[in-house]
A and B are shown apart, each in its own frame.
Chain A
Amino acid sequence: MDRRKFLKQSSLASSLFFVPSFVRAFEEVASSKLGYKRLVIIQLSGGNDGLNTVVPYRNDLYYKARPNLGLSQNEIIKLNDNVGLNINLAPLKRLYDKGYVSIINNVGYPNPIRSHFRSMDIWQTASDSNQYSQSGWIGRYLDNYGKQSHSAIEIDDSLSLAMKGESMNAIATKDAKTMYNLSKGPYLKNINKHLADEHLSEHNLGYLYKSMIAAESSAKYIYETTRTVVSKKEYPNTKFGKQMKTTAQFINSHLDTKVFYTSLDGFDTHVNQKGAQKKLLQTYAESVEAFVEDLKANNTFKDTLILTFSEFGRRVNQNASVGTDHGTANNVFIIGENLKTQGLYNNMPNLGDLDDNGDLKFEIDFRAIYATVLDKWLEVDDKKVLNKSFSQLNFI
Chain B
Amino acid sequence: MKEKHIQHLYRRIGFGILPSTLQKVATKSKKHNVNDLIKASKTYTILEVDISEIKDVFGGMMMSGTKIDNETRRKLQKISRKKQVELNVSWINRLASTSELLREKMTLFWANHFVCKDNSIVYIQNFNNTLRTHALGNFRDFVNAISKEAAMTKYLNTKQNRKQKPNENFARELMELFTLGEGHYTEDDIKESARAFTGYSHNLKGEFVFKKRQHDYTDKTFFGNTGNFTGEDIIDIILKERQCAKYICTKVYRYFVNDQVDDGHVNAMTDVFYKDYNIEKLMQFVLMSDWFYDDKNIGTKIKSPIEFLVGLKQTVPVTFKNKKQVIQIQRLLGQTLLDPPNVAGWKGGRNWIDSNTIVLRLKLPSLLLNNAYISNVKEGKQDAIMTQKKEQFKKKYGKRFNTQTNWNHFEKHFKNVALQDMDPHILAQPVTKDAKAYLQSLAKLSKHEYCIQLMSLPEYQMC
Contact = CB atoms under 8 A, between A and B. Distances in A.
A132 interface: yes
Nearest to A116: B119
Contacts of B341: 121, 134, 161
Interface string A196-224: 10110001110111011011101100000
Interface in B322-380: 328, 331-332, 334, 341-347, 349-351, 353-356, 358-360, 362-363, 374-376
A133 interface: yes
Contacts of A372: none
Contact of B356 (A191, A195, A215): A215
Contact of A199 (B177, B328, B432, B461): B432
Given A158-B356, A211-B355, A212-B362, A134 B458 contact: no
Nearest to A323: B70
Contacts of B342: 117-118, 121, 125, 132-134, 161
Interface stretch (B93-101, B130-138, B167-175): B167-175
Given A121-B342, A204-B301, A190 B356 contact: no
A149 B332 contact: no
A257 to B, nearest CB: 13
A209 B360 CA distance: 14
A188 B300 contact: no
Nearest to A189: B376
Contacts of B434: 194-196
Contacts of A194: 434-435, 437-438
Interface residues of B, number: 52
B313 interface: no
B75 interface: no
A183 interface: yes
A306 to B, nearest CB: 24
Contacts of B363: 182, 185, 188
Interface in B423-463: 429, 432-435, 437-438, 453, 456-459, 461-462
B435 A212 contact: no
Given A132-B342, A157-B331, A208 B353 contact: yes
B159 interface: no
A211 B353 contact: yes
Given A158-B332, A212-B358, A132 B458 contact: no
B259 interface: yes
Contacts of A198: 432-433
Interface string A151-180: 000000111010010011111110000010
Contacts of A130: 168-169, 172
B195 interface: no
Contacts of A271: 70, 74
Contacts of A132: 173, 177, 342-344
A35 interface: no
Interface string B296-321: 00001110000000000000000000
Contacts of A215: 354-356, 358-359
Contact of A190 (B259, B349, B376, B429): B376
Interface string A119-144: 00100010000101110000000000
B353 A207 contact: yes
A352 interface: no
Contact of B362 (A158, A188, A195): A188
Contacts of B435: 191, 194
A298 interface: no
A207 B350 contact: yes
Given A132-B342, A187-B456, A194-B435, A117 B332 contact: no
B343 A190 contact: no
Contacts of B351: 134, 164, 169
Given A208-B302, A211-B354, 8 more contacts: A130-B168, A132-B173, A132-B343, A171-B354, A182-B360, A191-B456, A208-B353, A215-B354
14 contacts: A132-B173, A132-B177, A169-B356, A185-B374, A186-B376, A187-B453, A190-B376, A196-B434, A204-B300, A204-B302, A205-B462, A207-B353, A215-B359, A216-B359
Interface of B: 70, 74, 117, 168-169, 172-173, 177, 259, 300-302, 328, 331-332, 334, 341-347, 349-351, 353-356, 358-360, 362-363, 374-376, 429, 432-435, 437-438, 453, 456-459, 461-462
Interface of A: 117-118, 121, 125, 130, 132-134, 149-150, 157-159, 161, 164, 167-173, 179, 182-183, 185-188, 190-191, 193-196, 198-199, 203-205, 207-209, 211-212, 214-216, 218-219, 271, 320-321
